[in-house]
Structure 1
Amino acid sequence: MSSNNLKALSFLVSALAIVQILMAADPDILVDYVAPDNAEGSFFTFTGFRTIAQGPPPPAFRVTKASMKEFPALLGQSVSYAALQFPAGSINPPHTHPRSAELLLVAQGTLQVGFVDTNNKLFTSTLQTGDMFIFPKGLVHFQHNAYDNQTALALSVFGSANAGTVSIPSTLFNSTIDDSVLALAFKTDVATIQTLKKGFAPQ
């Protein structure tokens, strides 16, 4: 391959990489905010977390999101929130956020948290009330309330109005991926995969 062809190929690969990086971020808006013409203060107010402050703890892990879908005023603002409620012994299963890092603050209780990097290295920590932990964008991570006698509450902020969530167990075992493909991937048999899928079937 000639030097000019190599330079052209290098430029093309670099340009495609930059386009991919730009596409992964929230689009910049050219106005202060995106709102209906008749918007008032209530458009910029989210009240969805009131149930957390006023209600009893949930019976199972629950996440309450304040993303662009639930709070349209976030469109173009590159930020969103989530409140994570952990009854005793509950877990937020391994998952990823393809469009944002996650900064988690433990507001109540204790959580075991961790993420796995692209070299399969696990980083874990036990967080107390007031502690924070960062989950890098796109990496598989989890949170677990290991205590059987106390609840936990955490707040997560994202650098995207729509960070997205890909739940690893649900994506694998509640999808139409062929059982034989999953059996090969997990080095097991189809019967085991089918048993696992039953646990993730919609209720």
Structure 2
Amino acid sequence: MKSVHFLSAFVLLALASSIASAYDPTPLQDFCVAINDTETGIFVNGNLCKDPTLATVDDFTYRGLNIPADTNNQLGSYVNRLSVDTFPGINTLGINLGRIDYAPGGVNPPHTHPRASEILHVQNGTLYVGFADSNNTLFSTILYPGDLFVFPLGMVHFQVNIGKTDAVAFASFGSQDPGFVNVANAVFGTNRLIKPEPLARAFMLDVNVVKDLQEKFLSSD
């Protein structure tokens, strides 16, 4: 009897572990093209799904990632990440893709993706990239056209164009919605500001410096 209880507990534990490690639900259908039609749509995984008999090849096609984006902004970069709104065919498939354009010196600032690992492919330019793990170890390198680099799930990472020309990279994600948390905005630019005193102590800054940073991040929204 004890062996039966042990086996049952083991099976439940294994099942719980498998559920906990699944970031996107495994689809139970061939596809689930996202749609906003509440009359005919079927609600699956946060989105309504088009009747599969009405799906067309256009639902699974996206055009336009060959077009350079405007990088004339404070960061000198622009991220065009797809979503089910722009590319409805990716809904429930557990994948996503984005194009990143960088002006010379442009930066994709330190950030995390809470729901997906990322693999970056450099098409043009020279990028300095890296991430820090939970032991504060930095893994960084310089990438050239054709190079790949992977950012593990949840790790703070960044990219900088260190070349003298524009750079382009494509990022692939293991989730249809990897999420995006800009570290600086999450610290200094929250819609309800964190009190400056704990931030000053945590970052070893003067309180007035923290207040100045908060004003800058709020004014940049």
TM range (shorter): 0.7 to 0.9
Alignment match, 2:115:
99
Distance 2:215 2:97 in 1: 32
Distance change (3 Å), C-alpha of 1:33 and 1:13: closer
| Structure with the larger RCO, 1 or 2 (CA within 8 Å, 6+ apart) | 1
Alignment match, 1:84:
100
Alignment match, 2:216:
199
SS at 1:47's partner residue?
A: coil
Structure 2 stretches lacking a partner, 5+ long: 1-5, 34-49
SS at 2:177's partner residue?
A: coil
Distance 1:119 1:40 in 2: 48
Structure 1 residue aligned with 2:26, among 25, 28, 31? 28
SS at 1:51's partner residue?
A: coil
Alignment match, 1:172:
187
TM-score in terms of structure 2 length? 0.77
Structure 2 residue aligned with 1:39, among 31, 51, 55? 55
Moved more, 125-134 or 191-200: 191-200
TM-score in terms of structure 1 length? 0.84
CA deviation string 1:116-152 (max 9, x = no partner)? 01111001110011111011111011000123x2111
Alignment match, 2:139:
123
Shift of 1:178: 1.9
Structure 1 stretches lacking a partner, 5+ long: 1-6
Distance change (3 Å), C-alpha of 1:13 and 1:118: farther
- Note if contact 1:48-1:66 (Cα within 8 Å) is conserved in structure 2: no
Shift of 1:45: 1.3
SS at 1:169's partner residue?
A: helix
Aligned residue-pair number: 189
Distance 2:66 2:205 in 1: 45
Alignment match, 1:186:
203
Distance 2:13 2:215 in 1: 43
Distance change (3 Å), C-alpha of 1:70 and 1:171: farther
Distance 1:117 1:69 in 2: 32
* Superposed structure 1 runs of 4+ greater than 3 Å apart: 10-20
